[in-house]
Each structure stands twice: as structure tokens, then as C-alpha cells.
Amino acid sequence: MNFARSASVLFGRLTGLVLVLALSLVATAADRRPNIVFVLTDDQRSDCLGCAGHPHLKTPSIDRIANEGVRFANAFCTTSLCSPSRASILSGLYAHSHGVTNNFTEYPTRLESFPKRLQDEGYATAYIGKWHMGEENDGKRPGFDFFATHRGQGKYFDTEFNVDGKREVLKGYYTSRVTDLALEWLEKQSREKPFLLMLGHKAPHSFYFPEAKYEHVFDDIRFPYPASAFHLADKPDWITTRLNTWHGIYGPLFDYRKKFPDSSPEAVVHFEQMTRSYLGTILSVDDSVGRLDGWLRKKGLLDNTIFVYMADNGLLSGEHGMVDKRTMHEPSIRIPLIVRAPGRLPRGRVETAQVLTLDVAPSLLELCGAKPLDKIHGRSWVRLANEGDQAWRRAWYYEYNYEKQFPYTPNVRGIRTDRWKYIHYPHGDGTPDRHKAELYDLAADPGEDKNLIDDPASSDVREQLSKDLARLIREAGADPDTMPVDAGIKAELPDLKIR
């Protein structure tokens, strides 16, 4: 009898202990802060992914992330230029507020960022690859414990890096070598501390040099100039002037055309060569994503790691006769954005609401349970991605400042709603605009082929959008809205060392 009673008591205690341990393990798993692997590409068009419907480019590794997470089909940058956009991603602020308004300004060391916030809250942080905020500094990056970066643009082959204080030339292909460094850093991380890895690829930024194995993948595919390149009658004159410049389809095409300007039909072969090489560089990026994703799966970390894939800005590839970015036309401002966060975001969702580079910082901090940044312009899309958000933004504004180093695009200010886009080009000194404005009904004209700015039937829309743009600028704290004086579109080539 005593033995039976003792056994019963012991069994009860063991059962209770097992229950306590089980609950403890559940709580630990729930409380464990997620890791982040963040892959940032440079100048990648939003349609240059298999999952985005590209007819020729296959990106199975990136597509897998999209199938297991959320693809934001209407993601945009608020300034289509490398450095300003990168600073907006980190800070959640518009360029006029964070101060990085061109490619020659460094990220302010005292400016808050989501990596700095995560670092302060106990994350191990690393930035590897292309940083490109400032041309000359390759030193320690604010908010990151470990850094392996370089000055300026870097090169596709044999770039000199500063690897955590030691400068060395990393022999080989850029995309592969920075992925090597990323995996080496990941292997050294303790399971006791969450990590943030940001990997900045040079690809697919010009000048375009694919990895040898991908150099001829697209050789048999034709890439004609887009039809919109030949229909510029209703566009502002600066777009026609730009045709023969560094950023026009008849110009040097990032050195793919040696004699220029050349508007002959035969010269399209240079455009085709450029496009094939651009796409080829993305294939190596897909390999990089596959290696990182494979490492997470092998280590059993996939379920507690947020994976972000995005670009800093988009790219015009002949649309309206333009190459490069900077303008507010759709290919320039649209970016790929994919986020996988198992248990925190749904699988296989395509979100169509407009999200911005400004929204990345607050969203990742919310997913990590971290303290939000103060007084930023961005909003977290976590609720939007999970259940929808009726109060989500319906309009946002775009800003770009004229650059004397790249004098091919005027000052740009514009507003984009779910349906409409209005763009105007301030001179910069408070005097009336010198360039024709643009107005597009994106629902009827997603390619922006018909400028409605002079259409009497659209005058009320134009007037309302102009007022809404002024309001958004004021609300963002950019009043007065300061910018350089537009010195005009010029034929000169940019300095070789900053291309």
C-alpha cells in the first residue's frame, strides 16, 4: 500500500516536472528573437525575377523564398539613387531628412538605424559587400560589429575590401566572394545570440560583367528597344535631350557602345549586349541566395530566421529612351521586395498595397520585438502582410535632387496614388518650373505612354494631386523644400572614377 502510494506520488511529480519543462521549452521558443539575413541588390528592376514573371530570367532560389514568404508586388523607393535609398532603408526616413541626398554623402554616424537598434538590443551584426554611402570611406559601418566593405562602387572582379580593419584584394567574382565572407561570418555566430547579416551585392549595377558560366546564357534572345523609346512627343523636352547622353539609349550604354551617339537601327546590338550582361549578373545573385538559404536549412535555423531580399532602386532599360534610374517613371522606382518570416508572416502571399523603402526598418524591428525608431516616415507593414490594413497609405511622394556630377536628370518631385501619378520638375530657386510636368492614369496606362498633363478632362485631377503633393511634403518636414538649381541636361560624360 505504501509502495503504491509512493509510486503514485513519484509519478505525479515526474509528470508535473515534464509539463513544466515542456512549457518552458515552448516559452523559450516563442521568446527567442529571430535572426535576419538581408540580401540587398543594386539597380535591380522589379520584373527581373522568375517569380515576377520575367520571360527569360530564371531565379529558382529567390523564387523559393517568395513561395515561402511574402512578395510585395508594389514596392517602391522614394529616391531612385543608390546612397539616398540605402540610407532610407536603414533609417526609415526620406532623403531630405537623413541628409544622404547624393552618392557622395556618408551615412551620419549619429543617425539611428534598424541595425543600430538591434545591435543595442543584443544582436550580433555584420555588413558585408557594397555599402556605397560616400565614395572614399571604407571604414567601420555604423550599427555593425563586423564589416567587410570597400570604397565606392567596387568591381565585379578583384575588389579591394576592408575586412574588419584589414585591407585586402579579394580575388575572384564579387558575388561569390562576398557570399563566401557571409557564410564564414555566419559559421562563427553563437546560438545564444541572434544575428543580423546584411549582404550588399554589386550586381546588377553597371558596368555589367557576368560570371564566366553565365556570360552567354542569353545570347540567343533578342532585346529590342522598348516601343516607348520612340513615342516622346508628349514628354518633357529634357527626356529627348537625354537620349544622346550617358543615360540615354543612343549614348555609350555604360561602355557597350564605343562610338556615340548612335541612333541607327543597327546600333540596337549594343543595347542587346548590355541587357544580356545585366541579366547574367542576376543569375549569380540567385546562386548566392541559394547558398545562404541552404546554410540556414542545414543548420536548422530557417524557422527562426527572417530572410529579406530587395533592391535599393529600380532601373530604366530603354523605357522612354532612357537607361539608368533617378527619374520617377515606373521602372526606375519599382523594386523587388520579398520577406520570409516563418510563423510571423504568411507563406506564398503576394501583397499589392504600395510599400516603400521607408517601411523596411519599422517592419523588421516589429518582427524582432525591438523598440521602434523615433520620428520616422516609414510604417510597419507587418499587419498589412498578415491580415490587411484598411488604414494603409493610398499615396506617397518622391524626391530626387539634380546632380552636377551626373547632369542628365532635373530635380524631381512627384506623387503616386494607387491610380494616378503626377511629376513635376522644380528649377530649384523658387522660380516657375522650366520643364513640362507629367500626369498618368496608371490604371489605364501602366506603361506611362500617354501624358495627360495638358488634357482638359484631367485638369481637376492634376490640381488635386498638386495640392496633395504639397501637403505630403509639408507633413514629411520638407517645407521649405530645398534643392540644387537645375543647371540643365549636359552631354559631358561623368568622371571615370565615379561611374
Q: Which of 185, 132, 135 is nearest to 163 (CA)?
A: 185
Q: Dihedral through CA 457, CA 459, CA 460, CA 465, nearest 10?
A: 130
pLDDT of residue 20: 38
Number of domains in the chain: 1
Distance between first and last Cα of the chain: 89
What grid cell was written down for 57? Answer: 530570367
Q: Which residues of the chain have pLDDT under 50?
A: 1-4, 7, 9-11, 14-30
Distances (CA, A) of 429 to 259, 344, 399, 410, 433: 37, 48, 16, 13, 10
DSSP per position, 309-348:
EEES---EESGGGBEES-S-SHHHHEE-EEEE-TTTS-SS
Across the beta sheet with 412-417, the strand order is 395-400, 412-417, 420-424, 438-441
Would you say residue 305 lies in a domain? yes
pLDDT of residue 135: 86
Distances (CA, A) of 171 to 37, 155, 158: 24, 11, 4
Would you say residue 45 lies in a domain? yes
Q: Which residues of 79-114 are buried (b: 16+ CB within 10 A; e: fewer)?
A: bbbbbbbbbbbbbbbbbbbbebbbbebbbeeebbbb
Whether 494 and 207 have beta carbons less than 8 Å apart is answered as no
pLDDT of residue 466: 99
Q: Strand runs (DSSP E) across 341-452, as ranges?
A: 349-351, 355-356, 395-400, 412-417, 420-424, 438-441
pLDDT of residue 31: 62
Alpha helices in 388-458, H assignment, sequence order: none
pLDDT of residue 28: 41
What is the three-class DSSP state of 490? coil
Would you say residue 195 lies in a domain? yes
Report how far residue 396's alpha carbon sits from residue 203's, in angstroms, rounded to the nearest whole number: 28
pLDDT of residue 496: 81
Instruction: List the domain range (segments joined by +) for residue 257.
Output: 35-394
Report how far residue 170's alpha carbon sits from residue 462's, in angstroms, rounded to the nearest whole number: 52
Whether 100 and 121 have beta carbons less than 8 Å apart is answered as no
Would you say residue 447 lies in a domain? no
CATH number at residue 325: 3.40.720.10
pLDDT of residue 439: 99
Across the beta sheet with 334-335, the strand order is 334-335, 75-76, 355-356
Alpha carbon 271 to chain centroid distance? 24
Report how far residue 87's alpha carbon sits from residue 457's, in angstroms, rounded to the nearest whole number: 40
* pTM more than 0.75: yes
Would you say residue 295 lies in a domain? yes
Would you say residue 13 lies in a domain? no
Would you say residue 69 lies in a domain? yes
Would you say residue 435 lies in a domain? no
Opening angle at CA 171, ends 45 and 277, nearest 5: 30
Q: Length of the chain in residues, anyone?
A: 499
